[in-house]
Structure 1
Amino acid sequence: MAALLYVLFAIVISLAIWQITRIFNLRGTIATEKDNNTQGFLFAAFGVFFYGLMIFSFWKYSIILLPESASLEGESYDTLYLITMLLILVVQAITQFLLFYFAFKYRGIKGRKALFYADSHKLEMIWTFVPAVVLSGLVLYGLTVWNDVMDVSDAENPLIIEVYAKQFQWEARYAGADNELGLANVRNIKGINTMGVDMTDKNALDDIPTRELHLPKGRKVIFKFRSQDVLHSAYMPHFRAQMNCVPGMVTQFAFTPSMTTEEMRANKKTITRVKRINKIRAEKGEDEYEFDYLLLCNKICGSSHYNMQMKIIVEEETQFNSWLKKQKTMAQVVQ
């Protein structure tokens, strides 16, 4: 594969050099009407190809898009994304069409002279004012969505979880019965206390450390993020959630799971994607894949960045409470 890329790179460089030498050789040459017609028709043909490729890509590769959001807050993100993309597509379709159409329609023809049009204050005001208003509206809408998602002041009985990042794995710590996380610092890391929890803090004694995330459906979850070493990024794509994990500080994000793991596995888009993945895996002689929510690192944090994952299980609250009761507290683990 690497050899093929080197060959393609060499071909591209050769073509670029050839085109540059042609440009130098064309100095003083006047294009004929035949040349203009050829270039105009080629530009029109490329326009048709361009739009055909775009439509084909939407039809062929829409399967790789994520299914609907698995969190209540993610629905607002999806609406914002849809509005933004529709606006971009409409503007792009119109402007690209005009580009190809004008290149063809106004190609050089004998006897036709280009109109010298110095400027128009009215046009300049329109194409400055309209984009400014539209983009300002999008920014304000985006800030409103962000503020609504980040505001946890009205959350009733939220679940508080610390997510701890380090090269190259995740760890988690649930707030115990007091629903308050104990203090932690990298200086406290010793032996099995791998998250540096301050065991002299009474709030830390009932905290629950885990290597797998379980979340209750319909209950607000507030995540507190820390990093032991470098900058990581906690990314939970199906929940439309992402937040940087920064060494030396605590960052925060929250969402409310709206779809259990089993419900997402029964989703039509998920089923289609899983079948496609398993077809590829079968051709390679690999085991079948079963869908799971994942916590990923979305920063290139080192050589094993790709393998930095944690399984997320979303379940009904009764099942979640049953699982949580079976877990050991920090006091039981460290003693």
Structure 2
Amino acid sequence: MTVFLVLIVIILFAIAIWQMSKIYKLSKPVNKDSSFQHEVANDKDNRINAKLMLMFLIFMYFLMGYCFWYYSRFYLPEASSDHGGLYDSLFFITLAVIMFVQLVTQVLIHWFSYKYHGKKGRRALFYADNDKLEFIWTIIPVIVLSGLIIYGLFTWSDIMNFEKDEDALVVELYAQRFNWKARYAGEDRILGNANVRFIEGVNTVGVDASDDDGMDDVITQELHLPVGKQVVFKLRSQDVLHSAYMPHFRAQMNVVPGMITQFSFTPTVTTKEIRETDYIKDKMRRIQKIRTEKSKELVASGQAQLDDYENFDYYLLCNKICGQSHYNMQMKIVVETQEEYEEWIATQKTFKQTIAQQ
């Protein structure tokens, strides 16, 4: 694949040099005795290129429509958080505006290229200055972009400027290359102080052992969230810049070394519920088909067979290229009922119990 990409780059570079040489030739003055005057496009050439412009326009929109249809199976399902609808509305409105603008501009560009293609004796109309046109194509983008920016700011404010509920679940997401850990606040709903300088032995996230608020904290390798309950995330990084990315919840926040960032959302769809949706069932059937075919290839080559991919799960990912194993930096998220969450958290050891067993 690398060799193939290198060949493509070399070919494209050669084409670019060839085109630049043609531009250089066109920029040179034409003498009457020069043979170059025979290379100037005639009416036939212009007609052919004008029709090609229309054909390219049709091809471009056919390809765009095909891509929208074919790759629609990779779209995310409906958001699994309460703020996800706001995020999706902003995204689709922005996409609709962009698609409308490019539809109009591309049609005009290609149609005018066809309609006003070069003909012998035709002279192009030249405007040295037109205040009316300049005002129109300046003020319209200003109004549209200002509207999108203001709408985006209000949406961002609604999502980020949250009020913490009294019974909100407080969870710290601790990032380290190439791993995630979750630290839950105990019954006091307060996370204990932590610092990378305290990392030693079983104290993998640097909880301050002298802080009583941290004694009932719970540190896990799997993130469990109760449905319908606000979750406030505190984020820390041990080494480099990471980004906590939960696509199905429309949530992402940078994790910055030396500081604590935060965001909050309320899960609305449990893991069990999303597994029963038609979108996820179809997605899992496609994945299982690919894995089955891959397993047959491995068996035929004498390698071990892949395990079945049983069910869909939410995941916390890193959305910053943080190093060589960045692709594998993920943590399973389980959204469940309050009762199921309480049963699970009751089985986890507190920080006090962990250091006591050291």
What TM-score does the superposition give when structure 1 sets the normalisation length? 0.97
Structure 2 residue aligned with 1:2: 2
Query: By how many angstroms is 1:209 displaced?
Result: 0.7
Structure 1 residue aligned with 2:355: 334
| Counterparts of 1:115 and 1:21, CA distance in 2 | 29
Matched to 2:243, the amino acid is S
Structure 2 residue aligned with 1:278: 288
SS at match of 1:7: helix
Are 2:345 and 1:324 equivalent residues in the alignment? yes
Are 2:320 and 1:299 equivalent residues in the alignment? yes
Query: By how many angstroms is 1:110 displaced?
Result: 2.0
* Range with greater deviation from structure 2 (212-221 or 134-143): 134-143
Q: How does 1:121-132 map to 2 (within 5 A)?
A: 121-132=131-142
| Counterparts of 1:196 and 1:125, CA distance in 2 | 59
After superposition, the CA RMSD in angstroms is 1.3
1:71 to 73, 81, 84: 81
Query: By how many angstroms is 1:154 displaced?
Result: 5.1
Structure 2 residue aligned with 1:20: 20
| Counterparts of 2:278 and 2:257, CA distance in 1 | 40
How many residue pairs get matched?
335
2:91 to 66, 78, 81: 81
1:287 to 304, 307, 316: 307
Give deviations 1:101-154, integer Å, cap 9, x for gaps.
Answer: 111111001232211222221221222112111111111111111111112325
Are 2:253 and 1:243 equivalent residues in the alignment? yes
Structure 2 residue aligned with 1:175: 185
Distance 1:155 1:119, change over 3 A: farther
* Range with greater deviation from structure 2 (32-41 or 119-128): 119-128
Structure 1 residue aligned with 2:127: 117
Distance 1:123 1:93, change over 3 A: same
| Counterparts of 1:57 and 1:96, CA distance in 2 | 18
Query: By how many angstroms is 1:274 displaced?
Result: 1.8
| Counterparts of 1:25 and 1:144, CA distance in 2 | 54
Contact kept in structure 1, 2:183 and 2:219, CA below 8 Å: yes
Are 2:162 and 1:152 equivalent residues in the alignment? yes
Q: How does 1:40-51 map to 2 (within 5 A)?
A: 40-51=50-61
Structure 1 residue aligned with 2:270: 260
Matched to 1:232, the amino acid is H
SS at match of 1:284: helix
Are 2:112 and 1:102 equivalent residues in the alignment? yes
Matched to 2:6, the amino acid is Y
Q: How does 1:190-209 map to 2 (within 5 A)?
A: 190-209=200-219
Largest Rg, 1 or 2: 2
SS at match of 2:60: helix
* Range with greater deviation from structure 2 (284-293 or 249-258): 284-293
What TM-score does the superposition give when structure 2 sets the normalisation length? 0.91
| Counterparts of 1:198 and 1:219, CA distance in 2 | 28
2:220 to 195, 199, 210: 210
Structure 1 residue aligned with 2:302: none
Structure 1: stretches of 5+ with no match in the other structure: none
SS at match of 2:83: helix
